[in-house]
Amino acid sequence: EAGELADELEQSIYAVGGFVRDILMDTPNLDLDLVVEGDGIAFAQALGDKLGGRVRAHRKFQTAVIVLPDGQHIDVATARLEYYEYPAALPTVELSSIKMDLYRRDFTINALAVQLNKSQFGRLVDFFGAQRDIKNRVIRVLHSLSFVEDPTRILRAIRFAQRYSFQIGGQTERLIKNALGLGMMEKLSGSRLFNEMCLIFEEKTALACLRQMRDLRLLSAIHPMLTLSPAQEELLEEIEKVLEWYRLLYLNHAPRSWIIYFMALANGAKDEETQSLAERFNLTPKQINDFLALRKQLNQSIYHYKMWKHRKGPLSQLCFQLDELPVEGVLFFMSKFKQEATRRDLSQYLTRLKDAELDISGRDLQLAGLPEGPAYGEILKKVRAA
Ligand code: ATP
């Protein structure tokens, strides 16, 4: 449909970036990014109308997002030429063509396009040797100032290298070291850094990323506290296993992985040190307080769990204690304690008890004629315990 519409509007249209990379690598990817040689916003509005979606436009960047009725997003950009006023700044924008659009991207493997217009449907646009690099399994930047322009690309290079088991190209690695030598990491804003770290923590290979970051002396450039000690590595290995186990349960809510990784990276650190790390990532005071509170709560839960185990208490008691802890806390707890019995208790809680719904609600008590009051909570709690 996008191709037909572009034909009608006499514009060239391409699918670009990760979507094309993942087609060539036979990996599923549902994030469609389109680039229009023409007016991207007008195109997005027309395509949004056609598909019954809503469109949000960002005039400054000449981009738009179409939100389809099923919640899926399509990003639409205008092929454009970018200037950077100074390294790591946000780009200012001017109209131009697909080649320039691809040239401003991070790596060759992400600088691919497939044309969607009917007469050219499926034409692969590869100006920078992306197919060769995919075949040779290397991550390569497009030009030597790439990391100075945008140091988040250093983290992206590592993320893609680990995700696909690619090598970072020799020259590209030298450019990373060069950018680090210029102090680019220190210049990177906390929120952009945090954003990239969160993406790393969503990967199954997050620990491998952290190890590569340490080997490139990137971790210590971010914050001296990030040493990745052998004990932390061991804990992170367990976290990866626990998160994978949890993922495979296909429960409704995905945990915020970053919280669990942060708990590991700040494991054993004092509150002030943790605070300083959190400030480097520009966490809000609320996020920092929540994080410190979670850590405190976790220690209490561990203590209560041990008491419960010792006293051979009822399962309901464990359940109420763990209800105090967000899921990230329970998963971290599981990662920290490898004993089979502990894992069994916690996994039983997560899989069978945590989200167990009651057959009755306050409404039933109302219908039974019970006067409203604190008794409601007590009764429902007892039903849950039973
Ligand atoms: P993922 O599979 O992790 O979503 P992706 O490649 O789709 O990978 P996005 O972050 O959605 O990643 O970016 C979409 C495209 O935008 C990339 O393929 C790349 O071409 C370009 N891009 C993203 N971030 C940068 C950056 N920092 N510098 C240059 N190009 C970028």
Residues 221-279 pLDDT 10s? 999 999 999 999 999 999 999 999 999 988 877 899 999 999 999 998 899 999 999 99
Q: Which of 105, 140, 153, 164 to mutate to test the pocket of ligand 1 (most atoms within 8 A of CB)?
A: 105
Is the pLDDT assigned to residue 94 strictly greater than 50?
no
User: Quick check: CB of 33 below 6 Å from ligand 1?
Assistant: yes
Q: Which of 69-78, 84-93, 210-219 has the lowest mean pLDDT?
A: 84-93
| pLDDT score of 380 more than 90 | no
Task: In whole angstroms, give the CA distance from residue 53 to residue 167.
Answer: 40
Give pLDDT, residue 317: 87
105 lines ligand 1 (CB under 6 A): yes
Q: Is the pLDDT of residue 81 over 80?
A: no
Give the mutation target among 73, 104, 106 for probing the ligand 1 site: most ligand atoms within 8 A of CB: 106
Q: Which of 116-125, 298-307, 368-377 has the lowest mean pLDDT?
A: 368-377
Mapping DSSP to helix (H, G, I), strand (E, B) and coil, where does residue 150 land? coil
- The arithmetic mean of pLDDT across residues 4-31, rounded, is 93
Q: How confident is the model at residue 18 (pLDDT cuts 50, 70, 90)?
A: very high
Cα separation of 268 and 265, whole Å? 9
Name the pairing type of β-strands 32-37 and 73-78: parallel
pLDDT of residue 168: 98
Please tell me the least confidently modeled range out of 187-196, 273-282, 373-382: 373-382
Q: Which atom of ligand 1 is nearest to the CA of 149?
A: 28
**pLDDT at residue 80, rounded to an integer:** 64
Range in 31-35, 39-43, 155-159, 372-376 the model is least confident about: 372-376
Measured by CA distance, the residue closest to atom 16 of ligand 1 is 17
Report whether pLDDT(92) > 60: no
Query: Whose alpha carbon is nearest atom 2 of ligand 1?
Result: 18
Q: Which two tokens stand for residue 194?
A: 């945090």
Model pLDDT, residue 87? 54
Pairing of strands 54-58, 63-67: antiparallel
pLDDT reported for residue 202: 96
Percent of the chain with pLDDT over 90: 75
Assess whether the C-beta atom of 31 lies below 6 angstroms from ligand 1: yes
Mean pLDDT taken over the chain: 91
pLDDT band at 343 (very low <50, low <70, confident <90, very high): very high
Query: In angstroms, what is the span from residue 267 Cα to ligand 1's centroid?
Result: 31
Ligand 1 pocket member 110 (CB < 6 A): yes
What pTM was computed for the model? 0.89
**Which parts of 337-372 fold into alpha helices (H)?**
340-348, 362-367
Residue appearing with tokens 């990532």: 281
- Please give the structure tokens belonging to residue 185: 């990491």
159 CB near ligand 1 (under 6 Å): no
Is any ligand 1 atom within 6 A of the Cβ of residue 150?
A: yes
Q: Which pLDDT belongs to residue 88?
A: 57
Dmax (CA) of the chain: 77
At residue 81, the 3 state secondary structure works out as: strand
Q: What is the pLDDT of residue 35?
A: 96
pLDDT on residue 355: 79
In sequence order, what are the beta bridge partners of 67? 54, 73
Query: How many whole angstroms from 355 Cα to the centroid of ligand 1?
Result: 36
Q: What pLDDT score does 211 carry?
A: 98
Our mutation pick for probing the ligand 1 site, out of 110, 140, 175, 176, counting the most ligand atoms within 8 A of Cβ, is: 110
Mean pLDDT along residues 2-16 = 93
CA 87 to chain centre: 24
Interval 272-314: pLDDT, tens:
999 999 999 999 999 999 999 999 999 999 999 999 999 988 8
Span 171-192, mean pLDDT? 96
- At 90 the pLDDT is 55
356 has pLDDT over 80: no
ipTM of the complex model = 0.97
Q: Which atom of ligand 1 is nearest to the CA of 22?
A: 2
- Give nearest CA residue, ligand 1 atom 7: 18
Beta bridge partner(s), residue 36: 13, 78
Which amino acid residue places its CA nearest to atom 30 of ligand 1?
A: 105
**Ligand 1 centroid to residue 77 C-alpha, Å:** 13
